[in-house]
């Protein structure tokens, strides 16, 4: 293989793919990026950890076609530090890769491209187009309540689904649950799907969305909103934007029946400013137990009283004016869980919905955003 490519194009595709390469795997080939030529004008980049795969393409002047696998981190670090301009890549003896740019020359070992594992393919699967910013918003509103326990794969990810009218994302770790959705616009193609996407896949999808949004800000305001294409096939989800394709092996587990967890008839609805509640919780949680983070909410007409007691540290109390005229209640929550929900919401007017002392609490934006955050109570 022998080709030349502009540094900016080379670096851009490496940035899109290198993070997926698995440097800790017992299979050395997985720590590599696969470089392969695709005709006389295209260089293809691919990386995988056998669960996630990313491919990207860049314009290049291909003199001799071929394929080679090169250490992802090493190649990316070299590319970042090359001078601007044209970069030459050539495979030389014993699968080594010679990289030249101006007066700079590197020679690094590679592995045969044929040893690289084959990547999932969507085949003839039909892609549907989603609004990239809306998908990014779904992730931002729900990512915090994914479980970090890899031994519970049905919770260590996000349920991503569409019912033809709306697209939604749901996550839960057993202590809290978040659900966000957006309605599809008139004339958009109907989409029905259910995918349980692991946390790492959601993280890579978020990176793809962030890049789409960043590219959009550099373009003229009259350009169409950024989009991402989605499909599923063979137990994998495929997300595509421009020349980048992300494939994610879906979790073959049953997500909890989330509709049964979301209370539908809570009688106490407390209106409050999100920013004021965040500030109060941060202050009062300073004396909360490091282990439980427990704070007590005492709600009565017009007032929310937040308290916490810790015999080793002390006690704290703060009163907030709220829009509430119902029956008084006292209930305990983990302050961090409440702060996580409030930190995901953008609107400053929120509703805290409560039932009994042992019922889950619900936080919703007071505005039109389709979001609900559910938090299990604590005995304190």
Predicted confidence (pLDDT) per residue in 253-294, tens digit = 999 999 999 998 899 999 999 999 999 999 999 999 888 899
Q: What is the mean pLDDT of the chain?
A: 93
- Name, in order, each residue with C-beta under 8 angstroms of 246's C-beta and a sequence gap of 6 or more: 52, 53, 54, 201, 204, 205, 208, 238, 239, 240
How much is the average pLDDT of 301-330? Answer: 94
CA 74 to chain centre: 26
**H helix and E strand count, the chain:** 6, 25
What pLDDT score was predicted for residue 222? 57
Contact, 127 vs 231, CB < 8 A?
yes
- pLDDT tens for 105-131 read 999 999 999 999 999 999 888 888 899
pLDDT number for residue 380? 74
8 A C-beta contact, residue 85 and residue 22: no
Cα separation, 338 vs 169, in Å, equals: 19
Q: For 288-314, what is the mean pLDDT?
A: 92
Q: What is the pLDDT of residues 335-380, one digit of tens each?
A: 999 999 999 999 999 999 999 999 999 999 988 889 999 999 998 7
pLDDT tens digits, residue range 201-227? Answer: 999 999 999 988 888 777 765 567 889
Domains defined along the chain, listed by start: 2-115 (3.10.150.10), 128-258 (3.10.150.10), 263-375 (3.10.150.10)
Each as own residue / partner, the long-range contacts of residues 289-292 (CB below 8 Å, 24 or more positions apart, any chain) are: 292/334, 292/378, 292/380
Task: Quote the pLDDT of residue 346.
Answer: 92
CA angle 203, 281, 182 (to 5 degrees): 40
> Closest by alpha carbon to 10, among 100, 95, 91, 93?
100
pLDDT computed for residue 213 by the predictor = 86
**% of the chain beyond a pLDDT of 90:** 82
Q: Say whether pLDDT at 316 is over 60.
A: yes
- Side by side, the strands of the sheet bearing 157-163 are 192-198, 157-163, 166-172, 176-183, 371-375, 361-365, 349-354, 268-273
Confidence (pLDDT) at 283: 96
**Which whole number is the average pLDDT over 29-46?**
96
Residue 65 confidence (pLDDT) above 70:
yes
**Contact (Cβ atoms closer than 8 angstroms) between residue 373 and residue 344:** yes
Neighbours of 256 (CB within 10 A): 14
Instruction: Check residue 186 and give its pLDDT.
Output: 64
pLDDT-derived band at 247, boundaries 50, 70, 90: very high
pLDDT band at 26 (very low <50, low <70, confident <90, very high): confident
């Amino acid at each position: 293989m022998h080709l030349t490519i502009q540094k900016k194009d080379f670096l851009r595709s490496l940035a899109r793919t290198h993070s997926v390469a698995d440097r800790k795997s017992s299979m050395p080939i997985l720590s590599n990026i696969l470089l392969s030529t695709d005709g006389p004008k295209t260089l293809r980049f691919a990386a995988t950890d056998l669960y996630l795969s990313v491919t990207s393409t860049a314009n290049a002047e291909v003199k001799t076609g071929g394929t080679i696998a090169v250490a992802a981190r090493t190649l990316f670090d070299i590319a970042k530090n090359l001078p601007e301009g044209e970069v030459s890549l050539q495979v030389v003896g014993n699968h080594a890769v010679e990289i030249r740019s101006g007066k700079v020359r590197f020679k690094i070992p590679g592995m045969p491209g044929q040893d690289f594992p084959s990547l999932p393919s969507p085949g003839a699967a039909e892609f549907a187009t989603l609004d990239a910013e809306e998908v990014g918003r779904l992730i931002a509103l729900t990512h915090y309540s994914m479980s970090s326990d890899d031994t519970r794969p049905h919770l260590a990810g996000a349920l991503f689904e569409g019912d033809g009218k709306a697209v939604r994302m749901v996550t839960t770790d057993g202590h809290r649950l978040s659900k966000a959705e957006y309605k599809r616009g008139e004339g958009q193609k109907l989409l029905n799907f259910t995918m349980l996407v692991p946390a790492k896949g959601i993280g890579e999808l978020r990176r793809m969305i962030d890049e789409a949004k960043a590219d959009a800000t550099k373009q003229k305001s009259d350009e169409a909103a950024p989009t991402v294409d989605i499909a599923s096939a063979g137990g994998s989800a495929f997300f595509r934007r421009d020349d980048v394709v992300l494939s994610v092996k879906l979790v073959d587990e049953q997500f909890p029946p989330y509709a049964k967890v979301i209370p539908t008839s809570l009688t106490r609805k407390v209106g409050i400013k999100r920013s004021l509640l965040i500030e109060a919780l941060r202050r009062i949680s300073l004396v909360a137990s490091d282990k439980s983070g427990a704070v007590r909410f005492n709600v009565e007409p017009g007032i929310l009283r937040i308290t916490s007691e810790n015999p080793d540290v002390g006690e704290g109390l703060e009163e907030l004016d709220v829009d509430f005229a119902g029956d008084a209640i006292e209930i305990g929550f983990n302050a961090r869980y409440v702060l996580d929900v409030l930190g995901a919401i953008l609107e400053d007017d929120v509703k805290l919905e409560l039932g009994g002392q042992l019922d889950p609490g619900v936080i919703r934006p007071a505005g039109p955003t389709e979001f609900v955050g559910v938090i299990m109570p604590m005995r304190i």
